[in-house]
Each structure stands twice: as structure tokens, then as C-alpha cells.
Amino acid sequence: MAEETANLCSCCGEPLPPGNLAWDLEMPDPVAYLDDDDRAQRTLFESEQVFNIAGLGAFIRVILPVPVEHDRTATFGVWLCVPDAKEWTRINEAARKGGSAWAGTTFEGRLATALQPWPDVFGAWTRAVVPGPDQVPRLVHSHDPLLARVLTERWPEELIRTRGLHAVRPLSGGPTPNPYRRSLWSRLSGR
């Protein structure tokens, strides 16, 4: 076991405060938004890590790490919608193989959790990487200005702990293009 009290904060030299800064959202917002009957009828697959819902899409659980003052990190279990069927197949095959095939797997999706206190990150494209064998993918990057700030700025613990109630949102509008994918033309001409 790690000795928590031995860890001192690099900003102030004080022992790091105890307490876990980890929360999980049980299911993607657009899935929670459905009424129970509708959800039951449309669920093609459901587990703690994956939802596949007819007419809504495929969702995978990822960790959103948030830097917190005094050298801490809050982690939120949130959900990504992966709209591209081929990408979804690739992710699932890597997950099924596990081990070194899963470790390092990188993919992109749209955040399907209106996470407080930054609910407008909902819908933002973001990139996830699997940090090691049998681990949950972690968000590492976003072009979305707000989500990029959430991932990289150091936030007050008070703001995280008093963030307000989660209000689920439906996915609205059509699919938006993945900003990480270069066009077919640039892929062909670039290699």
C-alpha cells in the first residue's frame, strides 16, 4: 500500500489531503434520457463498460482525469459515443484480445456526459488512450476549448466537490465530423 501521508504537495509542502476524488456516471446521458421501456426495447448490448443502443449509437466508459490543486487528480467515469462503426469494431476487437493488444489503443469519440461543473463539454470530440493492459481508457486531449481546459488546468477541490447536480442531455443534431481524422485525400497524398 502507498503511504499517502508520505506524499507532500510540491506547491506548498503540506501533506496531501486525504479523500478520494473519484466519481462515476452510471450510463451515457442520451441513454439515461430514454424512458425505461424505450431503453429496454432499444438496448442491443449493455455492460459496465459499454452500451449499444439502437438509434442512439455505441458508447464506451472512459476516465476523464482532472488536475486538482495541491498535486491531486480527480477522476470521473464518463462516456464517449463512438459514431464510426469501423472504429467501434476496432476498439471492441482490441478490448476482446486484451493485454498488449488493448494497452495503447487510441480512439476518438464525442463526450456523452454533461459533466458538472462544466456541462458544456457535452458533445465535444476527444481522444482516449488505454494506459495499460486491462485498464479503462483515459481521455488525453480535446480540440474543444472548454474540455481542453478541464484536462489541463488545475482546478480548486471546492469547485469539484460543490459541482451541482448532474442533468442528463440527449444527443441532438446530426453527426459532427471527427476533427482527428484527416480527409481521405490528405491521407492518400500524405503517405
Task: Catalog residues that contact Zn ion under the rule CB under 5 A.
Answer: 9, 11-12, 70
Return the number of the residue (70 or 90) whose C-beta is nearest Zn ion.
70
Query: Residue 135 CB, nearest distance to Zn ion (Å)?
Result: 28
Q: Judged by CB, which is closer to Zn ion: 161, or 181? A: 161
Which is nearer to Zn ion, 17 or 77 (by Cβ)? 17
Q: Is the dihedral of CA 8, 140, 60, 64 positive or negative?
A: positive
Half-sphere exposure of 139 (CA within 13 A, CB side): 34
The gap between the terminal CA atoms of the chain, to the nearest Å, is 48
Nearest approach in angstroms of CB 1 to Zn ion is 23
For the bound state, the minimum distance from the C-beta of residue 106 to Zn ion, rounded and expressed in Å, comes to 32
> Exposure string (b/e) for 32-57, b if CB count within 10 Å is 16 or more?
bebeeeebeeeeeeeeeebbbbeebb
Run of H or E residues at 38:
helix 36-42
Q: Output 9 or 95, the one with its CB closest to Zn ion.
A: 9
Separation between Cα atoms, residue 69 and residue 56, nearest integer Å: 37
| Nearest approach, Cβ of residue 70 and Zn ion (Å) | 4
